[in-house]
Amino acid sequence: MRIQHIKFKPIIKDKIWGGQRLRTLLGKDFGSLPNGGESWEISGIDGDLSVVVDGEFAGMSIVELIEKLGADLVGKRILDVYGKQFPLLVKFIDANEKLSIQVHPDDELARARHDCFGKTEMWYVIEAEEDAQLISGFARKIEPEQYHGLVESGHFADVLASHTVHHGDVFFMPAGRIHAIGRGVMVAEIQQTSGLTYRIYDYDRVDAKGNKRELHIDEAKDAIDFDDMDSGKRSYLAKVNDGSQIVSCQYFTANFIKVGGALKRDYANLDSFVIFVCVGGSVSIDGTALSYGETLLVAASTDSVQIEGAGELLEVYI
């Protein structure tokens, strides 16, 4: 069954740390919101279900789409595991200010506490101001018994690793790894379908009503992998008109493709949907235009696609 390639309406999230670059650089419309922290490009989160923009499925939610198309849309093995829930959440994040220092639980802890999936994710840096940084992992080994003392004394950040980032940098964040996006960084994020975040420190910020955001210091301790000393930074070689793997884990595989002219991608043996995220320039995929900041879902029943143009893509599948 041949299904048209599908675009969804972005879901814009106003965040205390967000800015204007989702609008000024990526062309996202967030109306009267004071800022745009996140643009949810494809979401199966209850209450924030993506809706098809145009074509024969216009107005349908992603759940309705899966109900209608089933394995032709997502792939048989994925349908068997996830049912009507789309398994990945794709976002753009604009950090005009630092995000909280945080950690995500793994599947086992998330199921026990929240009856949902955990949260493993990756970041592809699409814009970064000069000397912009993010936090990923520990700078030195600490024991779990030291955790509360460091947090309560305000010195927890001292044991974390900061990394100066540039366009094209990739960081992998398995559940359990401490992390935080720094000021002046904009990323494309691929993650499990989960809204679980345990905040450890939020710089004592307050919202418009003077309220501090909720912290989850005790819950986070159980989620942190204290033995994990990997920074999460991944290196790759960008090859023109070919896929370069940047992350591969049990939840998703992400490749980087630098498009210069025309190429064909073959998915006949994949049994998975494919998501294209345009992180630079512009391309067309089987005649469907995809510009910087846009995302496209290609159905699992698609055997191959023809890509043309001059741009940079993330290619994501399970």
pLDDT at 1: 63
CA-to-CA separations, 86 to 56, 58, 190, 300, in angstroms, rounded: 20, 18, 13, 13
DSSP 150-198: HHHHT-GGGGEEEEE--TT-EEEE-TT--EEEPTTEEEEEEEES----E
The C-alpha R_g of the chain, in whole angstroms, comes to 19
pLDDT digits (tens, 9 = 90+) for 15-73: 999 999 999 999 999 999 999 999 999 999 999 999 999 999 999 999 999 999 999 99
- pTM as predicted: 0.96
The domains found in the chain, sorted by start residue, are: 11-234 (2.60.120.10), 243-317 (2.60.120.10)
| Residues with catalytic roles | 199
Angle at 189 between CA 47 and CA 204, to 5 degrees: 80
What's the rounded Cα separation, in Å, for the pair 187 and 123?
6
C-beta of residue 50 within 8 angstroms of C-beta of residue 42: yes
Low-confidence ranges of the chain (pLDDT < 50): none
| Confidence at residue 126, expressed as pLDDT on a 0 to 100 scale | 97
